[in-house]
């Protein structure tokens, strides 16, 4: 098949393709879903919209999800390329065909592409120099082999350009503690090329840590121990025979340590031809958010070749490779790497695509669902499994409209661009519409990846959404075990619902910059997806290993869409801040435990959380009283009371933000949830306090302890502000 823009025929219905057993299983799945929702609403929700919610769950189509995914993944589609513009048009046309008003919002932003890469290894005197090809091999009978030629060469976006020839030092997973260990062994990283492996933190943190340790360059590889599957070397099965990453597989990524267009930090970009303030390239390149050193991702095969040439002391057991791997040594040398990287950081056009379903009673209140569309390669899992699920939701909503449904509040469907570079599309749009969203957005519901593979529902959210997630997940059968619901697997996890704190995907701008309640969810475990950001993230991998029947896509779309419907249609927004107060109480104990014996007081924080608990309980009771009234009593007084309670519920999350932002990271406004300053994807509650604790313990000066106490007060004030909003009274 040709990968150059020709769409393949749509898939047969996967259940039909699987034969009678698959068809019966899928139909049973739909029947159980409908029965669960109908019975739940008969008991709990007299609102007429409940009939449409039950109908929504019967309209899922795995054939539709599969067809969208196949069409979206015919070609690699990196942001800023013609192929991604075609993907944007596909999404726009799909939404427009459902009679939804659509629009495309372009921005001109700084993207980054490779111009030249080379890497060679000198293993020592008398040994030949080895040049690495830096390519990923296509697999036997690869239907996308022709299109693979369009894949951008393996690289790190925004890597520093330059040439380095130096001895190699092995730094395990590239965490700060790994560099501390190297220092304890007397290994000096300064001026060396660091070799580190994926598996603990993300690449931008790994390269930044290498730079801060004084390294001249960094090489990051995918160790077979973590990505190559079980078994000894030579006996492992990998894609296409198994889900595991082939030896030539490379995980690419971005090294920019900020969010959005690097030329417009803290303010929105604009479309090409329009005039907006931008940093100069000299200012961008000199920014602390840029890595500042050359770096390259390489395959596990190449990483092992470098490991074999290493000398120095033997690395500790936890730094070693898997079965059959050579003994890992920490260096430095005698291996010398000669690395050259030249990049092209250039302004390019990206396109966000939107569809709007206008609300009937409250059109000025927005329930926003979103997924990004751009991919490093084919993107079958990341992100287009989410795109396919979102389009499948849109099709169901269109069918509901034909049956007479209209949402109470406006639903906005968003297809973001350039997420892979720096969450760029969503960040620019949020910055562009910040004031409107701050006053009108009810919630943002994100799915980056809908399906990793087997495992179950894995949500993360701000805590006021916890109860809603639990209620919705009880309504959807688990596609891998239809005798149980998605809730049954989720509730056995610890925790059942994680938090949206890391900057890993498009919820970041909504919750961490302007304080909109947010969630992100997927089906399955990330560990089941070893081909992440590689050539092999294609439709064949998804069809064989991720979701052969596409029933996991349908289940994820069902719970995602049902949550959106509840937020859009319920008369009173289904937020519960009692669980928020409980969560903060537990989180504060964890934070305080990390500062035992410190000469500071956490009393202000604990006091503010008690205030939040009281305010949350009060508004929860107010909701119950209002809901107990007869549903037909839509008097003006009642309508105003509903609006007033909803405003308090909607705006409380905004109160957790602070206009100055976190110390040293002003873009992050949320005082409760943000990424760690040591791990851009890591989750930290009270991030300002956590950072101040680490700083005070390191410096142990009176000023550092004073700043820690200041951060405790800042966190307490944010919680108190949220309590006041929930309470709805002026002081």
Active centre residues (catalytic): 419
Listed in order, strand segments (DSSP E) in 44-145 are 102-122, 129-131
Integer Cα distance of 252 and 156 in angstroms: 6
Taking alpha carbons only, the member of 168, 167, 171 closest to residue 319 is 171
CB 448 within 8 A of CB 372: yes
Residue partners of 630: CB distance under 8 A and separation at least 6: none
Instruction: Give bridge partners of residue 477 from the DSSP assignment.
Output: 485
Query: Which residue intervals of 545-661 are DSSP H helices?
Result: 551-569, 578-593, 603-628, 636-651
Contacting residues for 649 by C-beta, under 8 A, at least 6 apart: 464, 572, 573, 575, 577, 619, 726
Q: Which residues of 457-487 are buried (b: 16+ CB within 10 A; e: fewer)?
A: bbbbbbbbbbebbbbbbbbbbbbbebeebbb
Contact 371, 325 (CB under 8 A): no
Burial of residue 702 (CB within 10 Å: 0-12, 13-18, 19+) is exposed
**Separation in Å, CA 233 to CA 196, 198, 224, 384, 402:** 20, 19, 9, 32, 57
Q: In angstroms, what CA-CA distances link 529 with 486, 538, 542?
A: 20, 12, 10
Asked if 586 contacts 73 with a C-beta cutoff of 8 angstroms, the reply is: no
Residue with tokens 């500071």, as numbered in its chain: 600
Name the strand (E) or helix (H) holding 458.
strand 457-461
Look up residue 280 and give its DSSP letter: -
**Residue (of 175, 434, 194) closest to 296 by Cα position:** 194
Q: Beta 217-221 vs 193-197: how paired, if at all?
A: parallel
Task: Report d(CA 220, CA 229) in Å as an integer.
Answer: 19
CB 151 within 8 A of CB 536: no
234, 238, 242, 245: CA torsion to nearest 10: 150
What does the alpha-carbon distance between residue 154 and residue 424 come to, in Å, rounded to a whole number?
Answer: 21
What the block records as the tokens of 254 is 């971005």
User: Which residues pair with residue 457 across a beta bridge?
Assistant: 523
Identify which of 654, 670, 647, 644 has the alpha carbon closest to the alpha carbon of residue 721.
Answer: 654
Q: Dihedral through CA 168, CA 172, CA 174, CA 175, nearest 10?
A: -140
Q: Please count the CA atoms within 13 angstroms of the CA of 576 that sit on its side-chain side.
A: 13
Nearest CA to 240 among 253, 251, 229, 231?
Answer: 229
């Amino acid at each position: 098949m040709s990968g150059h823009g020709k769409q393949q025929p749509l898939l047969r219905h996967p259940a039909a393709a699987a034969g009678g057993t698959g068809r019966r299983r899928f139909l049973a799945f739909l029947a159980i879903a409908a029965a669960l929702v109908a019975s739940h609403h008969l008991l709990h929700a007299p609102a007429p919209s409940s009939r449409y919610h039950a109908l929504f769950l019967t309209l899922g189509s795995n054939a539709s999800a599969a067809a969208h995914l196949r069409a979206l993944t015919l070609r690699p589609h990196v942001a800023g390329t013609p192929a991604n513009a075609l993907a944007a048009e596909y999404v726009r046309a799909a939404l427009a065909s459902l009679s939804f008003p659509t629009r495309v919002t372009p921005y001109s932003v700084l993207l980054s592409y490779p111009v030249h890469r080379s890497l060679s290894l000198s293993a020592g005197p008398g040994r030949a120099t080895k040049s690495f090809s830096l390519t990923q091999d296509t697999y036997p009978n690869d239907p996308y082999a022709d299109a693979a030629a369009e894949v951008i060469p393996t690289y790190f976006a925004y890597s520093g350009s330059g040439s380095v020839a130096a001895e190699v030092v092995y730094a395990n997973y590239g965490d700060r503690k790994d560099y501390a260990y190297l220092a304890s062994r007397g290994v000096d990283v300064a001026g060396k090329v660091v070799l580190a492996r994926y598996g603990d933190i993300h690449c931008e943190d790994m390269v930044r840590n290498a730079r801060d340790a004084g390294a001249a360059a960094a090489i990051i590889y995918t160790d077979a121990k973590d990505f190559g599957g079980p078994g000894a070397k030579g006996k492992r099965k990998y894609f296409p025979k198994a889900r595991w990453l082939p030896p030539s597989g490379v995980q690419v990524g971005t090294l920019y340590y900020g969010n959005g267009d690097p030329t417009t930090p803290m303010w929105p970009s604009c479309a090409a031809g329009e005039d907006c303030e931008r940093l100069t390239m000299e200012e961008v390149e000199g920014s602390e958010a840029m890595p500042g050193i050359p770096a390259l991702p390489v395959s596990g095969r190449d990483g092992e070749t470098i490991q074999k040439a290493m000398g120095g002391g033997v690395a500790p057991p936890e730094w070693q490779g898997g079965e059959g791997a050579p003994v890992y040594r920490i260096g430095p040398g005698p291996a010398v790497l000669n690395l050259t990287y030249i990049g092209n950081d250039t302004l390019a056009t990206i396109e966000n695509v939107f569809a709007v379903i206008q609300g009937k009673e409250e059109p000025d209140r927005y329930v926003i669902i979103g997924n990004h569309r751009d991919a490093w390669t084919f993107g079958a899992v990341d992100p287009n499994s989410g795109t396919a699920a979102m389009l499948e939701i849109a099709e169901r909503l269109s069918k509901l409209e034909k049956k007479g449904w209209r949402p109470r509040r406006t639903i906005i469907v968003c297809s973001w661009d350039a997420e892979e570079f720096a969450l760029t599309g969503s960040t620019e749009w949020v910055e562009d519409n910040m004031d409107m969203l701050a006053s009108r957005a009810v919630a943002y519901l994100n799915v980056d990846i809908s399906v990793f593979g087997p495992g179950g529902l894995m949500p993360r959210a701000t805590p006021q959404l916890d109860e809603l997630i639990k209620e919705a997940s009880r309504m959807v059968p688990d596609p891998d075990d239809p005798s149980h619901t998605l809730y049954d697997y989720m509730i056995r996890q610890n925790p059942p619902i994680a938090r949206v704190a890391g900057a890993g995907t498009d919820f970041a701008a909504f919750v961490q910059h302007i304080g909109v309640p947010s969630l992100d969810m997927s089906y399955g475990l990330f560990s089941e997806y070893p081909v992440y950001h590689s050539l092999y993230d294609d439709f064949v991998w998804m069809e064989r290993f991720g979701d052969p029947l596409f029933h996991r896509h349908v289940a994820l779309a069902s719970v995602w869409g049902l949550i959106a419907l509840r937020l859009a249609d319920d008369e009173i927004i289904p937020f519960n801040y009692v669980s928020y107060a409980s969560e903060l109480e537990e989180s504060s104990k964890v934070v305080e435990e990390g500062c035992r014996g410190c000469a500071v007081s956490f009393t202000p924080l604990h006091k503010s959380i008690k205030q939040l608990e009281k305010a949350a309980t009060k508004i929860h009771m107010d909701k119950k009283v209002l809901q107990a009234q007869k549903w037909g009593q839509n008097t003006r007084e009642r309508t105003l009371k509903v609006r007033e309670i909803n405003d308090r519920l909607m705006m409380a999350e905004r109160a957790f933000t602070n206009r100055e932002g976190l110390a040293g990271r002003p873009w992050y406004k949320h005082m409760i949830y943000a990424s760690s300053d040591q791990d851009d994807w890591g989750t930290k509650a009270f991030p300002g306090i956590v950072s101040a604790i680490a700083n005070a313990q390191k410096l142990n000066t009176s000023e550092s302890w004073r700043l820690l106490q200041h951060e405790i007060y800042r966190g307490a004030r944010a919680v108190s502000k949220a309590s006041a909003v929930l309470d709805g009274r002026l002081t």
